[in-house]
Amino acid sequence: MSQIGGRETAKAAHPFPVPHRLAPDLSRVEAYWRGLLRGGADMPFADDLNPNDLGNLEPRLFVIDVFDNPERFRFAIVGEALPGGLAGVFLDETALAGPFEFLRAQASATTEAAQPTYFRQEGGKGSYGRLLLPLWGEGRISVLLGAVAFD
């Protein structure tokens, strides 16, 4: 509970919580991200990110540049197993379909929470899980590392 204007309010539930058990490939990406941590830092530095380090997972990885004032997100890298033609495109300038449904909302939540987030899509044209991991740079969260695990 927290106080707002003298009233007690319940703390909001995280909209994109990371489950206790992730798909093995997403667990591997999360372990890589945690392995980039320096000292007592809560998140890795963007300069340390190298998607090539994840080998066979690289085709299902994507990297998003984070801008502030106003908050915007732009695909920097999109792996070859994911929809093409998105590198350099801002998320709010394109229709986002599978496996990128609700990606703008998840990216915003990841930036606001300053912690990993997870999205799960069931059925439709296929089921998948998507993990977003924040990285620090230029005095703020400047990059998000994303990974998709298809069922």
pLDDT digits (tens, 9 = 90+) for 24-50: 999 999 999 999 999 989 999 999 999
For 56, the domain range is 24-150
Q: Which of 95, 107, 101, 118 is nearest to 142 (CA)?
A: 107
Tell me, yes or no, whether 4 lies in a domain: no
CA 131 – CA 144 distance, rounded (Å): 10
Tell me, yes or no, whether 3 lies in a domain: no
pLDDT for 148: 98
Count structural domains, the chain. 1
Tell me, yes or no, whether 8 lies in a domain: no
Tell me, yes or no, whether 9 lies in a domain: no
Say if residue 4's pLDDT is above 50.
Answer: no
**58-62 contacts, C-beta under 8 A, 24 or more apart:** 60/25, 60/147, 60/148, 60/149, 60/150, 61/29, 61/145, 61/146, 61/147, 62/86, 62/145, 62/146, 62/147, 62/148
CA 25 – CA 2 distance, rounded (Å): 37
Say if residue 9's pLDDT is above 90.
Answer: no
Tell me, yes or no, whether 57 lies in a domain: yes
| Polymer length in residues for the chain | 151
Judge whether 104 and 92 are in contact, CB under 8 Å.
Answer: yes
Tell me, yes or no, whether 85 lies in a domain: yes
What percent of the chain has pLDDT above 70?
91
pLDDT for 12: 66
pLDDT for 2: 41
pLDDT for 8: 52
For residue 143, give the CATH number of its domain. Answer: 3.30.450.20
pLDDT for 15: 86
Tell me, yes or no, whether 18 lies in a domain: no
pLDDT for 5: 47
